[in-house]
Chain A
Amino acid sequence: METLNYRANAPQRAKGSKRQVIVGVVASGNLEVLAERVLPDSECEVDIRTAAEGFGEVWQAVVADFVERRSPGGLKFSINDGGARPDTVALRLAQAVSAIEGERT
């Protein structure tokens, strides 16, 4: 297992008022993302525990794009990863934000 942590400034606060959501499951090629509204509005954090070691650079790139596209200010994302591909990671992160912003459940 490898542990990775990224913090970033987010220009905008994530919409809505839900305190937390969880999407996905931990399985081969899949992951769960727990999003919690616990940070100051201008910050976000992604905390990852992954079964696939040595993909730090890819994670960093995925997280950077995600923060740029979705600006999830105030959210902390905790990820348990079963070796998901970057497209799945990006999808789950987007689903988590969408869910906590209340667009869909």
Chain B
Amino acid sequence: MIIIASDKALPPNNTSASTDSWYESSARQRVENLLDANSFNEFIGPELRETSPHLPLFDLPEQFDDGMIVGYGRLDGIPVLVAAQEGRFMGGAFGEIHGAKLTGLLRAARDIAWLPVLILFDTGGVRLQEANAGELAIAEIMRALIEARFAGIPVVGLVGGRAGCYGGGGLIAGCCSALAVSEQGRISVSGPEVIETNRGLEEFDSKDRALVWRTMGGKHRRLIGGAEVFADDTVASFRDAARFLIKHAPSMSLEMLEAEQFRLTQRIEQFGTCADAADIWRSLGATKPQSIPALPHPDFVALANDLQEPHYVAR
């Protein structure tokens, strides 16, 4: 018997854009699938070829959008400004053009004063080949972001990309009105290798990926209050999170920063002597902290809601 395989009668692929993995999608796919169909309008798109003026000095390939996509679109009908980093190009790192696009977007948000902003983080931090420009870009972005929040604009960060959200990216994320993070997402200032290099293998084994995720990953960030929403790794889940968080982002004020000061000093008092994330989770009240990394999305969301209320007014 010879089997003749025929795919003429194939049912359509059982995949739709919204169930696509956020982690696997490119920055363009994320923007495309996050926003309403055909609603995205890019500012300084790739056809304008505004590439890095510095990478040629290092004989490195450029990308037409310098790894940052910014523009205007709609999220379930709500007009929004969007920025997305491509984590695979130069590790999503901030360079001069890359950063300036986001600066311009946030300054506009501040002055328009009614358009929410979504930042789709995917970054290893500062791009070393243009380190000074990248560092300054981060400082400028933070200032513009905080000014926008002071003007009452929700700035929502979404973290779940391949490069994580490291270095200055972690600081920008810390300035956002609210964050959604997935299990794959990592938020941290120093990367695992940096800690290992500086402190030695005994302090941090960067190859122990369970340790990396336990210390910097999305679940831990949600549990200590560093992120408000724990998203599943799908575009649909991040869209729900973004829509929700836009509504739960009060303007920045002195009271809010006082509340954050309280929240952060409390955190040091509560967990400052914990040696490992599992100890922190245990002191939060988790009965089986070792089982947390493996918990499926809905179970973890329920547990997190139980252990740690999101702090919309304290960040």
Name A's B-contacting residues (CB within 8 A).
1, 20, 22, 25-27, 30, 32, 34, 36, 49-51, 78, 80-82, 105
- A26 to chain B: which residues have CB within 8 Å? 61-63, 88-89
- B32 to chain A: which residues have CB within 8 Å? 105
21 examples of A-B residue contacts, CB within 8 angstroms = A1-B56, A1-B60, A25-B86, A25-B88, A25-B89, A26-B61, A26-B63, A26-B88, A26-B89, A27-B89, A30-B88, A32-B64, A34-B46, A34-B47, A34-B64, A49-B61, A50-B61, A78-B64, A80-B63, A82-B61, A105-B32
Known: A1-B56, A34-B47, A36-B47. A25 touches B61 (CB 8 A): no
- A30 to chain B: which residues have CB within 8 Å? 88
**Main SS class of interface, B:** loop
How many Å lie between the Cα of A82 and that of B60 in the bound state? 8
Residue B251, interface by CB 8 Å? no
Q: Which residue of B lies closest to A80 (CB)?
A: B61
Q: Which residue of A lies closest to B29 (CB)?
A: A105
Residue B7, interface by CB 8 Å? no
**Main SS class of interface, A:** strand
How many Å lie between the Cα of A27 and that of B64 in the bound state? 13
Residue B21, interface by CB 8 Å? no
Residue in B49, B59, B61, B62 whose Cβ sees the most chain A Cβ within 10 Å: B61
Interface string of B19-36 (1 = CB under 8 A from A): 000000011100010000
In the complex, the 6 A-B pairs of residues with the closest C-beta atoms, listed nearest first: A27-B88, A26-B63, A51-B61, A25-B88, A22-B46, A26-B89
Residue in A25, A30, A50 whose Cβ sees the most chain B Cβ within 10 Å: A25
Interface string of B42-66 (1 = CB under 8 A from A): 0000110100000010011111110
Known: A1-B56, A81-B61. A22 touches B88 (CB 8 A): no
**Further 8 A-B residue pairs, CB within 8 A, beyond A22-B64, A25-B27, A80-B64:** A1-B60, A26-B63, A34-B46, A34-B64, A51-B59, A51-B61, A80-B61, A82-B61
How many Å lie between the Cα of A22 and that of B32 in the bound state? 12
Known: A30-B88, A36-B47. A25 touches B59 (CB 8 A): no
How many Å lie between the Cα of A51 and that of B49 in the bound state? 18
Closest Cβ–Cβ distance, residue B61 to chain A (whole Å): 5
